[in-house]
Amino acid sequence: MPRRGHITCTPSASAGQTSASTSSSSSHFHFPSLPLSRRLLNSLFLFSTFSITTGNFLDRHYPLRLFDNLSLAMSEKALTALNTVPRLEESNDSSCKGDLSKQGTETSNGIVEELKNKSSASIRSQVNGENGNPVSEVGSSEVEYIPSENLTDLEDVSSSLKTLLAGLESKDWVLVCEALNNTRRVAIFHREDMLDMLGDVISLLVKSMKNPRSAVCKTALMTSADIFSAYNDKMIESLDPMLVQLLLKSSQDKRFVCEAAEKALVAMTSSFSPELLLPKLEPYLKNRNPRIRAKASMCFCRSVPRLGVEGIRAYGIDKLIQTAASQLSDQLPESREAARILLLELQSVYEKFPDLPTTMPEDPEKGSWEDFCQSKLSPLSAQAVLRVTNVSREGIVSSS
């Protein structure tokens, strides 16, 4: 009698066949009592091995027959296992089913009622203001982005100022957003009351800008714009950490965060004195990140016209031209476009006020824009600047 659970495969010269055998010689291969799926795979693998070793490729239907035999064996074994399962008595079976279904129904109904009661109690506590920690409650998942012109004054300024720093450093992001909006209200309606704690507020504001939650980040960016408009030059010494985050956030992929950061940068360039802001922006014009360079170039371009003629003279028009020329060869088109606009502005100022430079050529006839650029820039940079300004001038003349 062959041992149960063993299959032996004997290679044949004419055709491969599968037989049950008790032989343990080297020409027979036994499978232990493995699961049927594994035995099927082992059989197919051994068939391939025999075929390659003996060169027996004559019977191409052998794999199909082997698969059919093993599938039949699997089906018969499964049917036998089902038939040998002990059956419960009908009376006991029906009574057990009835008891289990009854108990399951009662338990599920009790759980549903308990969940309903908890949910309704939670919602009522939120509506009535009883819950003091709305971190994970239902009504706390939405944050409203309020424009600056729609903000209203605080009812109790003193109590809001006492809890302002605690709210800004809270671990509950909803409370952080509420504290940021209160910071905006204080900056707009009571700017002098927050002046003493402005340094601590800015540090926590920068922390909120780094928050991975977009709602907190955007609210912090909106808060920075209102703080710029309220305090301008009074906070110039605290601008550096904010400026880094604004340039980073304005160059990222999330559109609504990027838009809020760009609005904050516009508020910054319109609030600070250009004499103080331009030195802060210069290091970022050489940043390794091309997107940061592009945003810094745009801010630099917006700030220079606010200098005025005397401001340009004090800052140095030759220095401004050199800065703009270095951006003409930048990687991103935003940087190149900002440099082009700045060069056209400087050319217009130079031609209107020829005595603007601190050092003038000895021959007045050589004091043209072309000669000035060639005297202050390298040959390649001067050629690039003149090409940009001359093409733009020709376009203006032709359009007029």
Contact 258, 249 (CB under 8 A): yes
pLDDT at 358: 54
pLDDT at 367: 77
Q: In the numeric block, which tokens belong to residue 156?
A: 């109790």
pLDDT at 292: 95
pLDDT at 44: 56
The rounded distance, in Å, linking the Cα atoms of 68 and 56 is 20
The rounded distance, in Å, linking the Cα atoms of 23 and 30 is 9
Instruction: Please name which of 207, 202, 133, 122 lies closest in space to residue 174, comparing C-alpha atoms.
Output: 133
Note the pTM of the prediction, 2 decimals. Answer: 0.63
Question: H/E element holding 357?
Answer: none
pLDDT at 57: 44
DSSP annotation string for 206-247: HHHHT-SSHHHHHHHHHHHHHHHHHHGGGGGGGHHHHHHHHH
The rounded distance, in Å, linking the Cα atoms of 247 and 233 is 19
pLDDT tens, the chain, 400 aa long: 444 444 444 444 443 444 443 444 444 444 444 455 555 556 555 555 444 444 444 444 555 555 455 555 555 555 455 455 444 444 444 444 445 444 444 544 554 455 445 444 433 333 333 333 333 333 335 688 999 999 999 999 999 999 999 999 999 999 999 999 999 999 999 999 999 999 999 999 999 999 999 999 999 999 999 999 999 999 999 999 999 999 999 998 789 999 999 999 999 999 999 999 999 999 999 999 999 999 999 999 999 999 999 999 999 999 999 999 999 999 999 999 999 999 999 999 999 987 776 555 454 544 789 999 999 999 999 999 999 999 755 554 444 4
Beta-sheet strand order (sheet of 8-10): 17-19, 8-10, 29-30
The rounded distance, in Å, linking the Cα atoms of 22 and 30 is 9
pLDDT at 113: 54
The rounded distance, in Å, linking the Cα atoms of 92 and 384 is 97
